[in-house]
Amino acid sequence: MLPDLTQPEGPDDPARERRLDWAKLLKRAWAIDVLVCPRCAGPMRLLALIDDERIARKILTHLGLPSRAPPRGRPWRPPQQSLPLDARSDDDAIDPPSYDA
């Protein structure tokens, strides 16, 4: 039997979900299943979602955890590369002679 070419499969399939839920994304990116208890391997479920920044800050402060992101570092820049000695001109390597007489 020939495959039905009128219905695409894969990324172009119109029946395919367009977004993955957060648990599947974490499992794909970090290879951890956030819905499985690390102690007993039993199922875990989401109990609440905190979307108010003030409440999240109060909870983190109460738990003794940092409530602010760490400061940003300086942007990375590649180190300056110097020319090899044989590629430099002689004028760059030594000071010109002084003609004090």
- Residue 94 is predicted with a pLDDT of 62
Predicted confidence (pLDDT) at residue 84 exceeds the cutoff of 90: no
Compare 19 and 34 and report the one with higher pLDDT.
34
Q: What is the pTM of this model?
A: 0.39
DSSP category for residue 19: S
Tokens 């367009």 appear where?
18
**What is the dihedral angle through the alpha carbons of 43, 47, 52, 58, rounded to the nearest 10 degrees?**
-90
Q: pLDDT band at 11, cuts 50/70/90?
A: low
Domain positions in the chain: 16-65
Give all strands (DSSP E) within 1-101, no chain letters.
none
Whether the predicted pLDDT of 92 surpasses 80: no
Closest CA to 59 of 67, 49, 47, 70: 67
Rounded to 5°, the CA angle 60-62-65 comes to 40
Residue the block writes with tokens 């070419």: 5
For the ranges 17-21, 61-65, 70-74, 92-96, the maximum mean pLDDT occurs at 61-65
